[in-house]
Chain A
């Protein structure tokens, strides 16, 4: 009886550990693959860090740091890059691609060079539509937010990030300037990777906003069920 129980438990433990190791191996493999492919940013950012900028305490808990807004943008970016459930796809040469697929296609010269600008334009337009609401939220506090991004870039070792250049553009000209700066899918992907990483770290640093959202979200999920 006892040995039976132990055996079952042992099996459970082994299975769980195996599952975990498989998950880790799979993740590491995917990570290595993507590192080779030139889109490593979000994997470097798997563990969020606290942005050491006191100005965040001013916006924390206010509409300037609303978590739902931030998560919405992050979800939209994820859809654009990975095309979850067929959403966020970019039409290029009559076919629908995710951004990740376009990055590979671009590197392997599978898309006609002449058609590239139009495809990139489509992707950028999608991002602009997604980010408009978030940019509108940052207005009036942009100087501080740029300084926060600077601090984040320093902590993350991303001082060459397009995100910094994007943030430093005058209000209302961000999109136009972004189109000048982002001339390939790899650059767009890196930019979105940086932005996702920043959003995650910003969310992690905003403890009050996170708490407000957590309380709401738990209740919201319960009501949904």
Chain B
């Protein structure tokens, strides 16, 4: 009893002493305040610490730990929502170039025509009729970019996060549009033999596609603190020069060749009918790529860069300045390659119809319904239906996410760390780099019809104004069953599209060197469209007929 009492009192004393001890933190076993870290202790501790760090496990741990980055949910999100090509109309299909005027020039044997032209589409359609990139790349706050940005914000101080207003920054990029410009010469050779007309036409032109941010949005982006010249250390001119090589795709070369064979079975003073067909041959090739912008071709190259490398900045015990610079450069290369890949998918396109042979029947009719002195007024109409032979095209595909692949892994197992990093690397690559696969594609049928009122004065002046309708059906994609389930095929299909244009021209004829010289100024403009951008064309015709 006495003993118990005595021990009880001792316990009280110990508690009092322990509670009264100043400067101690209960959870700590050692007194950090009084550790004298001399050189030998430091070297030993440093060596032991370095030995305990496994860069692969550290990487996996930092990415997957819910208390840290909690990045697994991010890696299951998509960056791209689609991977289809954007719809564009062939130069041959422009209404003024569709007009063959067959049969009208039966007085001649031969004609050469050179049309300088300029065609511009200010807003190409990414998905359906949407002209903003947000329909193609997910810029929403719940998408990959939105959530990644929110996560970055989480890892900032209260002060820094106030200036990092991601809700305002992302929409600036989500309004990026795609523009196309084509300028060159449309060259046409014609041969006339009685009621038959043969024509060979080929465009030689410069084609450029680029991403575009409005002036207003550019100003706003310049005002974003972390994108400013001061933060990036890059002048505006340098940034623009770098971007030109990554967001602009341009080339100069020869387009597809179109060969017409037409027969005019009926022709009198007022009416002319022509029937026949044309073949579009895949002769397109570029003389030179990347004149002002970058040179692109669709491929699956991914620069060597892994998450383990990225996290080596914090996880590598012997990280040096040189290694840091190397990681930074690899990261920049990787990011720019991802941007290039987007440009390849959307802006890189051939000068022709991607290697497809097109075959079409065509019918043309022209009727003068009123004549008065030297003036004749008539209506010319034309219709064609073009089908294409299938051929192999390089198409981009999004890899389907399988949540179970993520959820069944043990990220806490150090022995699996290397394998887990490889898995996470693959997921990141799948997000940023849609896979390019050679695919057998059959483009949809193209129907084109146009009609124009024309006013002829004394066979030396002609003016016309007309309406054109162009439409293209759904394409068909053939994928092998081996890869069918792995990729999102529907996201890669290019939608059907239609376009309505009005067009007009003024022509004059002069006698020239024993023949006739025709000059024409004309153009067209889109008045309505679906799933294809609104473009306009201006052209000047110079035709010499003998």
Contacts and interface: CB of A to CB of B under 8 A. Distances in A.
Majority secondary structure of chain A interface residues (helix, strand, loop or mixed): helix
B41 A24 contact: no
Interface residues of A, number: 57
A59 B58 CA distance: 10
Interface in A169-225: 200, 203-204, 210, 212-214, 216-218, 220-221
A9 B9 contact: yes
Interface in B1-60: 2, 5-6, 9-10, 13, 16-17, 20-23, 25, 28-30, 32-33, 35-38, 41-42, 44-46, 48-50, 52-53, 58
Nearest to B52: A212
Contacts of B154: 54
A20 B32 CA distance: 20
A139 B327 CA distance: 12
B65 to A, nearest CB: 8
Interface stretch (B312-320, B342-350, B468-476): B312-320
Contacts of A151: 157-159
A195 to B, nearest CB: 15
Contact of B316 (A17, A63, A147): A63
Contact of A69 (B46, B67, B328): B46
Nearest to B9: A9
B122 interface: no
B374 interface: no
Contacts of B327: 140
B155 interface: yes
A63 B160 contact: no
Given A62-B314, A140-B313, A154 B157 contact: yes
Contacts of A140: 313-314, 319, 321, 324, 327-328
B189 interface: no
Given A9-B13, A17-B20, A74-B37, A55 B155 contact: yes
Interface in A5-29: 5-6, 9, 12-13, 16-17, 20, 23-24, 27
Interface string A147-162: 1101100100000000
Given A61-B58, A66-B46, A151-B158, A5 B6 contact: yes
Interface string B143-156: 00000000000111
B17 A16 contact: yes
Given A53-B156, A62-B314, A75-B37, 12 more contacts: A9-B9, A17-B20, A24-B22, A64-B313, A75-B36, A75-B38, A139-B321, A140-B327, A210-B28, A213-B45, A214-B28, A214-B30
Which 9 A-B pairs have CB atoms at the shortest separation, nearest pair first? A151-B157, A68-B45, A140-B324, A71-B37, A72-B37, A55-B155, A140-B313, A75-B37, A62-B314
26 contacts: A5-B6, A5-B9, A16-B13, A55-B155, A57-B65, A62-B58, A63-B315, A66-B46, A68-B37, A68-B46, A71-B35, A72-B42, A74-B37, A75-B35, A75-B36, A84-B36, A140-B319, A147-B157, A148-B157, A150-B159, A151-B157, A154-B159, A203-B32, A210-B28, A214-B28, A217-B30
